[in-house]
Every structure is written in C-alpha cells, then in structure tokens.
Amino acid sequence: MKPPTRRYEYETDGAAIYRASFATIRREADTAHLPGDAEKVAVRMIHACGQPDLATDLHVTEDFVGAARAALRAGAPILTDAQMIAAGVTRPRLPRDNDVVCLLRDERVPLLARDFGTTRSAAAVSLWTERLEGAVVAIGNAPTALFHLLELLADGAPRPAAVVGVPVGFIGAAESKEALAAYAPRIPHLVVHGRRGGSAMAVAALNALAQDDEIGASVR
C-alpha cells in the first residue's frame, strides 16, 4: 500500500515521541511532593490526560508503589470498576500474566444493585470479596464503587495490597477520594483529588506500576 503524500512536518518515531513527551512533562510538572518511586507513575498519568497541573492534585502514600509492584510480582489480580480500564492494561507489561478483572457485566450485578439500593458499579465491587485479599484495585469511573469498597473494608472485608482511586465526575468523585485519603495509613493508595480522574488515568497508573521501563514497552 502506498503511503499518503507527506504534507506536514511531524515526528513519526514512536520512541522519540515518548521521550520528548516525558521530557516536556518533567519540565512543566512539579512532582517534588511525591515519593521518589511514584514520579514515573505521575508522568504516565499526566501523559494520559495532557495536563501537567494534574501533579498538584496527585497524592501518593509512601508505601503505595512498593506495595502495588510487590503484589503484581506475586501474581495478584487487578480488580477494576470499568471495562475500559481492563481493556487498557497492556498485558505484556504485567509481570506474572496477572488477571485483570471487571465484574460489571456479571449476571448477578443487576439484582445486587437493586437489593442494595446502589449503582451497578458499586454492586459489582461486592463480588470482589473472594479475590480482594492482596489484590491491586483500580477505580477510575464510579465514585460509588470507591465508597462501596471502603464500606466493605470497614465491615471487615479482605484488605487489598494497594488502591488506585481516581473516579471522575461532579457528584461524589471528590468526596470518595477524600474518604480514601482519610482511610490512610491503613491501605497504600494513590488519589487524584477533586473532580478529575477517569479510565485513562487509572490505566496509565497501572501500566506504570506493572513495569518500570518507561519507553520500551510503551511502543508497539
């Protein structure tokens, strides 16, 4: 197949684009308040949204990156509230071919949501219990899912190894992340305070945690 006529000047080398992008982020974003091992996670998240000021809303506990990476290396599953997150994880980056689980489409969810009087996203979290111990949790869509997770933990549910809490939205998102932050230091976590968040940010964090290599596994 013949390529189209080149009419614009632009970088076409994937690795070069990544290098230049990450260098730009490091010039423009202030990540000095973050733990040292969280810097690459922050850079990947900023790259996913194009907003260097995201760093100002990012809070990462000192033990988060170490706990999440150790869990993944031990084969722990990733439990998430959104199919988009599950689909976005770069599987070759995962150290142990870890399961990436979203139960939103489980046939039990609609009935549970009705019985609990909550959203389907929150109801699906109730189905995580058997795999929650030592798991890496990533919530990037539904504030109700994060609230529900915290309520389960308060009632004695198994404790995950680490939580990426970045639900997005105007109703409950900021509050759910404040609730997760208030749960510290009982659980290692990452949050983006305020209304910002979403599946792309959650995926970026997971992919950065799965493998420290910033460029090689990113270019496919």
Residue 171's φ and ψ, nearest 5 degrees, are -120, 105
- Give 129-132's long-range contacts (Cβ < 8 A, gap of 24+): 129/157, 129/158, 131/77, 131/79, 131/101, 132/79, 132/157, 132/158, 132/159, 132/160
Catalytic: 33?
no
Catalytic residue, from 33, 47, 59, 193: name it: 47
The angle, 0 to 180 degrees and rounded to 10, between the axes of the packed helices 14-28 and 39-49 is: 110
DSSP label at 164? Answer: E
What is the β-pairing status of strands 58-60 and 100-101?
unpaired
Q: Residue 210: which of 80, 23, 41, 2 has the closest Cα?
A: 41
CB 64 within 8 A of CB 189: yes
In sequence order, the β-bridge partners of residue 59 are: 191
Could you identify the residue written with the tokens 């009935």?
A: 111
Q: Which residues are catalytic?
A: 47
